[in-house]
Structure 1
Amino acid sequence: MNATTDLTELAQRFDADRRHLRSVAFHLLGSVPDAEDAVQSAWLKASGSDFGAVQNLTGWLTTITAHEALDQLRGRRRRAERPLIESEDLDRMVSAAADEEALLADSVGRALMVVLDRLSPAQRVAFVLHDVFGVPFETIGELLDRSPVAAKKLASRARSRLQPDPASSAARTVKHTKLVEAFLAASRGGDIDALLELLAPDVVRRVDPALVPENVPTEVRGARQVAEETRHFVQRARVGAVLLIDGSPGIVIAPGGRVQALLRVSIGDDDRIREIDIVGDPDRLRNHVLSLSPPHTP
């Protein structure tokens, strides 16, 4: 078998595995363009390598793709923090994420993508490769230049970051999570009547100025006013996900899995929403701990 035949067979295997490799890259990067770049870079690296002795081509290609994604994740960390975004910039990001990327995020689990973005590159790689794709820790350790035991610890730490604290899984938290999910669903659909049922009559909505146009007040009071206002932010609601924010149910606006705003929701004893605090300042965003909501029956 000559080199040309070998490369042809590798190309055929790569094409057969492309969907899998793209899924690996998307789980790791949360972005369709970035995932495509990682897959393309993986092909260039694989096709230029000596692969004649490789026994498991799919596993080998998966590792190369993960390595390319890891380099991208580390590059993100080295770059300066993203600046405070303007309202119109956020709207453009939301529109861009509303097509294929949004569909992929929904299939993976938008909430999971958001929390994954809070992990270190090594934690994210260890968790995704092992828990989602079943890659052994020996292989992950080699990829990360760590021992298998160290790779296992990274995945364990990631798991603890993703899952809610056991104390937060109380019935009250589950009930409030359902209320916040109902609020998000009603906001996406512009269902004013449903919103009025969920909001306290004297509800207060506050927002960081940079997240809204100049003609939108930073504070709005009253159920009718807050409900009517949601009609202007349907697109943003469509890229929202319900998560625990510092242990309490809230909403994260995250186009492409990147957190751009948090809606901290306070619920009264009457099980109605009393306050909505919308956070967009980068310093404030970093100070909040995000985790997955406790499982419950819809």
Structure 2
Amino acid sequence: MTAEEFTALRPRLLDVAYRVVGTVTDAEDVVQEAWLRWSAADRSAVEHPEAFLVTVTTRLAIDRLRREKARREAYPGPWLPEPVSTEPGADERVELAESVELALLVVLETLSPLERAAFVLHEAFSLPYAEVAAIIGRTEPATRQLARRARDHVRERRPRFPAGPDRRRELTERFLAACLAGDLDALVALFVADVELVGDGGGRAKAPLRVMAGADRVGRFLTAIADEEGARHFLRSVGVPDGAAFALAIEGVNGAPAAVVRAGGRVVLVFAIVPDGDRIGTIFLLANPAKLAAMSRGGAGRASGGT
């Protein structure tokens, strides 16, 4: 396999790694290490280079996730996966997220590394159990058991009543409009009674340190951070000076519409909703600057004013 052939395979390897580890940075490190392993391997002994690289990438991703698990448990507040832009013209290296919604990645985070790898390889890439077993180093019966547990867990945590793309975009637009208007009643009307808001500031941006639940409570929090003083306070927390122009738009994030806020030339906030039927069941608030770096390389949103 030449460097050009590896480059062509790289998106698939990134896709595997990203689904297992949950961040673009870690996924890229894993794929780079896989390339180094391939470069040092006795290639005459490798019958199927692509299978070899998928195996190496998966095993490196499992090892990386095991190391990261302890850090994520000590993370300040909820840990959410790194969002990536799926807008037209987005950086080619993040096209891997087209079919990996944040809600699914959040559920995958609750699995063991081996369960997660078995689920990803079998469910997302349709690899037969025998091949998955060889990749993760387990027997086929054990691999089937890992995948079944993972599949059952994902099914239990999925929204009760999923919404289609058009309905999802409509809910996102109404959510954004109600936030901008500071309309508490309109917000609450969009939520299921037990709606949850999960914020990830990573200790570097203002975000709830615990999952917030309840329509009225979540609505009051959102209207508070959306008013002029609340917005200014948040922007200061991420190093954006007073008076800086900001922009907001509905954009594709991990293959689904999300409300994206830019200020100071970078993405500072992403609201991704998870519909539950005709209403919103979960809101992911992503504000950790380190996790929004890839998003910041996308195009600018629609200018909407200043603070």
Q: 1:159 aligns with which of 140, 151, 155?
A: 151
Distance of aligned partners of 1:18 and 1:179 in 2 relative to their CA distance in 1, 3 Å threshold: closer
Q: 2:274 aligns with which of 227, 234, 242?
A: 242
CA distance in 2, matches of 1:79, 1:223: 31
| 1:72 to 2:64 alignment | yes
| 1:192 to 2:181 alignment | yes
| 1:132 to 2:124 alignment | yes
Residue 252 of structure 1, CA deviation: 3.5
Q: Show the 5 A alignment for 1:1-298.
A: 9-79=1-71, 81-85=73-77, 97=83, 105=97, 107-164=99-156, 169=160, 185-189=173-177, 190-192=179-181, 196-199=185-188, 212=206, 227=223, 229-230=225-226, 232=231, 235=261, 238-242=270-274, 249-253=281-285
> SS where residue 159 of structure 1 aligns?
helix
CA distance in 2, matches of 1:45, 1:161: 34
> SS where residue 108 of structure 1 aligns?
coil
State the one-letter code of the partner of 1:153.
Answer: Q
Whether the 8 Å CA contact 1:38–1:65 is kept in 2: the answer is yes
CA distance in 2, matches of 1:42, 1:224: 47
> SS where residue 74 of structure 1 aligns?
helix
CA distance in 1, matches of 2:157, 2:196: 28
Unaligned runs of 5+ in 2: 86-90, 235-259, 262-267, 292-307
C-alpha offsets along residues 146-171 of structure 1, whole Å, 9 cap, x if unaligned?
101111111111111111379x84xx
* Deviates further, 152-161 or 182-191: 182-191
> SS where residue 163 of structure 1 aligns?
helix
C-alpha offsets along residues 24-50 of structure 1, whole Å, 9 cap, x if unaligned?
111111211111100000011111112
State the one-letter code of the partner of 2:141.
Answer: V
Whether the 8 Å CA contact 1:21–1:65 is kept in 2: the answer is yes
State the one-letter code of the partner of 2:174.
Answer: A
Distance of aligned partners of 1:182 and 1:15 in 2 relative to their CA distance in 1, 3 Å threshold: closer
CA distance in 2, matches of 1:118, 1:204: 21
Distance of aligned partners of 1:152 and 1:34 in 2 relative to their CA distance in 1, 3 Å threshold: same
In structure 2, what is the equivalent of residue 287 of structure 1?
none
Distance of aligned partners of 1:249 and 1:35 in 2 relative to their CA distance in 1, 3 Å threshold: same
How many residues matched?
A: 230
CA distance in 2, matches of 1:130, 1:222: 37
Report the TM-score, using the length of structure 2 for normalisation: 0.57
State the one-letter code of the partner of 1:30.
Answer: G
In structure 2, what is the equivalent of residue 279 of structure 1?
none
Query: Alpha carbon RMSD of aligned pairs, Å?
Result: 4.7
> SS where residue 240 of structure 1 aligns?
strand
Whether the 8 Å CA contact 2:194–2:281 is kept in 1: the answer is no
Unaligned runs of 5+ in 1: 1-8, 260-298
What percentage of aligned pairs have identical amino acids?
Answer: 29
CA distance in 2, matches of 1:206, 1:114: 13
Q: Which structure features the higher share of helix residues?
A: 1
Residue 144 of structure 1, CA deviation: 2.4
CA distance in 1, matches of 2:218, 2:145: 48
CA distance in 2, matches of 1:115, 1:213: 21
* Deviates further, 63-72 or 74-83: 74-83
State the one-letter code of the partner of 1:162.
Answer: V
